[in-house]
Chain A
Amino acid sequence: MLHTTSQLKPIEVVNDFVVKFATINGSGSASANELFAKSILRMGVPVGTRNIFPSNIQGLPTWFEVRVSEKGWLGRRGGVDLMVALNPQSWDADMKEIDPGGYLLFDNSKELPASSFPAGITAIGVPLTNICNAAYSDARQRQLFKNIVYVGALSFLLDMDAAVIEKVIAEQYMKKERLLASNVEAFRLGRDYAEQNLKPIGLRVRTSDTVGDRILIDGNHAAALGFVYGGAMVCAWYPITPSTSVAEAFQTYCSKLRIDPETGKKRVAIVHAEDELASIGMVVGAGWNGARAFTATSGPGISLMSEFIGLAYFAEIPATIVNVQRGGPSTGMPSRTQQSDILACAYASHGDTKHVLLFPEDPHECFDDAAAALDLAERLQTPIFVMSDLDIGMNQHLSAPFEWDDNRLYDRGKVMTKEMLDAGTVFSRYLDVDGDGIPFRTYPGTHPTLGGYFARGTSRNANAQYSEAGEDYVYNVQRLLKKFETAKTLVPQPVIREAARPAHAGVIYYGSTSPAMAETIEILEAKGLYLDRLRLRAFPFSDSVREFIDKHDRVFVVEQNRDGQIRTLLINELDINPSKLVSVLHYDGAPITARAITDGIASQMTACLQRKAG
């Protein structure tokens, strides 16, 4: 059943290719695709997976991309070596994505006209529908097991170890014996058909040992776990894609890890609020009252929270907000990834405001940043944003294992206690006593006669008394600026890597662009183009960011938004000459690819080199 539509040489590679599954949302393909990816991982070969899904429960097209890379390039590469095309709706578009010499796996239960197939690829038909119709009588089973059957066929085509896959199936259905047997049976149906009718193709998975101790997890679960470890006591949230699973995972982890063993009661309060205004309101209330609290949301939620974010900034209340960024507004693009809320968060709310942003690059940093954000929020008494995105948040990424030091203490910030008040320490809620712009606060209920104050936005003096006096306002907002300077020294510092050879150009990037950037650098160096790189981990920008820009003639700024928002922030905050910062942008909703960055940078660097040579 193998037929080649042209004489072009089929791709032949080991442990370095892209498989894309084009399926129908709600058809049960997701778990089969994950099984496929996890099995490759178990063979010791790193994989990066991307789920590209619609705003829909059933019926619309959905895709799952698996990047297999022994070298460990786990960002999206761009292009597809093997397309598993099971959705007639997206067929034409899917065909266009297959690289020359690539492969197509399709259901040939019904014959397709030759014109359906693009030239220059190898098309492999497996009669998935016929196999399942013969094996199962139940309509639902016929549909569901098709997915496992194609994994079986793939496992043979890619020369994978069947025992490894069967072991992963066994783990998945450890407590459901009936499901285990039927899934193994379906896997065998596909594998047997391929063995009897097909030959392995040019893409091979060979057992390796390059995965190491890395773990496979999505960023939302990682952030949730970071909040458990970081000591979040209150979580208030409202469902919104793609952030929903942060709060849901937090709930799940807390139901195991935050139970008082004696009473069975919970060491956490999780409130599903009526909207984002209420969820941030609850976080602010909890923060004011001395609890470490967070909310998780996405773009529209940030818009709704803006008023409260301003209040928390001026009243100096700790609050942690995870923003899992997405396209938007409305519905549809919100199930696709972007980094397009940078400016909206950096300057959220009315009045002169600036906020601390953290940019995790993967689930490992989602964990670290979640825990760090709770500390920073209390240390700086201000809202802290963890700027994740859909790619990091909802896709499983191979990441360094989580770490925790049992000696680590939570930073609860400057809190004046009853003992301090009794000892005669003077409490002025909004006075800069240490020169770092950060005042002391008291928790409600601390002392019968001392330390009480009435919290409000801006209309107050350093002693928290009502004041509309201009000088009181100016003192206060200038102190907030000083506090923002202090924040520079507390946030995670940028990661700078120098090129293999001295470079005149640099590149700045952040967040989920990271894995594709690592691959880009290697591709560019192979072309003789050298770039120093700086990965931002936080805003406000540390002094080393300015130094990095000053050191280079030209700095590319790679982002997943239309307007070059970090570039704008760099120009605005560091007073950089705009002509020095060149945007490389990708914002179609799919995660950025190494090819897109490479093309964007290479074309401009080459043009520049040519101009210089000319």
Chain B
Amino acid sequence: MTYLAKPKFHHPSLPKNEVGFTRRDYEGKVSTLCAGCGHDSISAAVIQACWEMNIEPHKVAKLSGIGCSSKTPDYFLGNSHGFNTVHGRMPSVLTGANAANKDLLYFGFSGDGDSASIGLGQFAHAMRRGVNMVYMLENNGVYGLTKGQFSATADKGSRSKRGAVNADTPVDTVSLALLMGATFVARSFSGDKRQLVPLIKAAMAHKGAAFIDIISPCVTFNNHVGSTKSYDYMREHNEVANCLDFVPSRDEITVDYEEGESAKVTLHDGSVLELSKNRGEHAFRDKTAAMNYIQEHQVKGVIVTGLLYIQPEATDLHEHLNTVDVPLNRLTEKELCPGAAVLKEINASLR
């Protein structure tokens, strides 16, 4: 199917969102990934989240590294600018782009080879800096484009398609993101759109470094018995930490939780995140509790998904750098150049 161009024809009655776009306006090129790839479900979730959030497509910048996951930004938000950068280095390019223009919404797409191996350093430092972004790691535990090598997130003892057993300790990206200072940390599963879409929406509303690790099975190289990143394994070992709903600031809260069963988090833009309280009232705001929760389940071989940690009042890179409110790329000679008279004074001070 990948050789077919996507038809431009729109059904005339497709519903439009508040900014006048149909869902089709958020689509991109036809995917060239394998049929059944988890990544395509994530692309669909991004499309839905953006449409529902009434994001103008050109107000999004989507950046990626290299790998199967990093090809995906071509398959959604076709009217947005995108940048397929260098293997493992998307975070620095995104940081620079964000520094240049704080007004856009930044999506970083990466894979487990991209973020947990070659780009582990950049991944960690982008979290430390609090770059305002939604960083989605499409995690399948395997190198797809180079055909099936273990990645650094492959679990110890898991088997490759060729039968090799992984002896190395996996990098747990959510724990690392937490440690490095990410202020929104979640894990989800590409097969659970009901959980993933609100998570992406909440991450978009969050100001600061938002990280979602999305287990996304590789149907070609890592979906066999012995893999811990297969569809079957995920379905058997997924513990949903919380159900959540994302309520934009202007909407009335309609989610139906029993009294006392839900907790609400108000984000900086006034939108509300409502979570089921499987983990107790404030667990998701407590970094230590979040860390313990992840580790305890990991030991039991259970993969927890859902929102794991949020710091709603987080600050971002621009606040740390104390930059002006107008995007830097819009400044002109008038604001940037101190002029000849000042230069004369500088010359005088150097004599």
> Is A403 positioned at the interface, with any CB of B under 8 Å from its CB?
yes
Interface window among B170-178, B283-291, B342-350: B342-350
Residue of B nearest to A402 (CB): B343
Give how many B residues have a beta carbon under 8 Å from the other chain's beta carbons: 60
Q: Which residues of A contact B336 (CB under 8 A)?
A: 228, 231-233, 258, 267, 410
Flag if B89 contacts A267 (CB, 8 Å): no
Other contacts beyond A291-B99, A443-B101, A452-B79: 6, CB < 8 A? A231-B337, A233-B328, A269-B328, A280-B92, A281-B89, A402-B346
> Is A113 positioned at the interface, with any CB of B under 8 Å from its CB?
no
Interface window among A17-25, A149-157, A453-461, A507-515: A453-461
Most A CB within 10 A of own CB, among B29, B63, B329, B343: B329
B305 nearest CB across to chain A (Å): 30
Residue of A nearest to B335 (CB): A267
Residue of A nearest to B99 (CB): A269
Flag if B324 contacts A266 (CB, 8 Å): yes
Residue of A nearest to B25 (CB): A449
> Is B103 positioned at the interface, with any CB of A under 8 Å from its CB?
yes
Which residues of A264-284 are within 8 A (CB) of B?
A: 264-271, 273-275, 277-284
Give how many A residues have a beta carbon under 8 Å from the other chain's beta carbons: 73
Flag if B323 contacts A268 (CB, 8 Å): yes
> Is B1 positioned at the interface, with any CB of A under 8 Å from its CB?
no
> Is B222 positioned at the interface, with any CB of A under 8 Å from its CB?
no
Flag if B323 contacts A285 (CB, 8 Å): no
Flag if A283 contacts B96 (CB, 8 Å): yes
Most A CB within 10 A of own CB, among B78, B338, B342: B338
Flag if B321 contacts A271 (CB, 8 Å): yes
Q: Which residues of A contact B100 (CB under 8 A)?
A: 233-234, 269, 285-287, 289-291, 293
Interface window among B54-62, B200-208, B255-263, B269-277: B54-62
> Is B333 positioned at the interface, with any CB of A under 8 Å from its CB?
yes
Residue of B nearest to A257 (CB): B338
Q: Which residues of B contact A402 (CB under 8 A)?
A: 343, 346-347
Most B CB within 10 A of own CB, among A229, A232, A308: A229
Which residues of A297-313 are within 8 A (CB) of B?
A: 307-308, 311
Flag if A260 contacts B96 (CB, 8 Å): no
B253 nearest CB across to chain A (Å): 30
Q: Which residues of B contact A449 (CB under 8 A)?
A: 58, 79
> Is B97 positioned at the interface, with any CB of A under 8 Å from its CB?
yes
Task: Give 24 A-B contacts (CB < 8 Å), ordered by A residue.
Answer: A213-B347, A215-B347, A232-B336, A234-B328, A236-B96, A236-B99, A263-B324, A266-B321, A267-B328, A271-B95, A274-B122, A277-B89, A281-B93, A282-B92, A282-B93, A282-B95, A285-B96, A289-B100, A406-B339, A445-B58, A445-B104, A448-B79, A455-B83, A457-B84
> Is B125 positioned at the interface, with any CB of A under 8 Å from its CB?
yes
Number of A-B residue pairs at CB separation under 8 A: 226
Residue of B nearest to A371 (CB): B337
A47 nearest CB across to chain B (Å): 13
Which residues of A248-269 are within 8 A (CB) of B?
A: 257-258, 260, 263-269
Partner of A216, one of B86, B103, B350: B350
> Is A58 positioned at the interface, with any CB of B under 8 Å from its CB?
no
> Is A551 positioned at the interface, with any CB of B under 8 Å from its CB?
no
A452-B57, A466-B74 known; A293-B96 Cβ under 8 A? yes
Most B CB within 10 A of own CB, among A285, A287, A408: A285
Q: CA separation between A270 and B104, bound complex, in Å?
A: 19
Q: Which residues of A contact B36 (CB under 8 A)?
A: none
> Is A288 positioned at the interface, with any CB of B under 8 Å from its CB?
yes
Q: Which residues of A contact B79 (CB under 8 A)?
A: 448-449, 452
> Is B129 positioned at the interface, with any CB of A under 8 Å from its CB?
yes
> Is A478 positioned at the interface, with any CB of B under 8 Å from its CB?
no
> Is B295 positioned at the interface, with any CB of A under 8 Å from its CB?
no
> Is A26 positioned at the interface, with any CB of B under 8 Å from its CB?
no
Residue of B nearest to A225 (CB): B346
> Is B351 positioned at the interface, with any CB of A under 8 Å from its CB?
yes
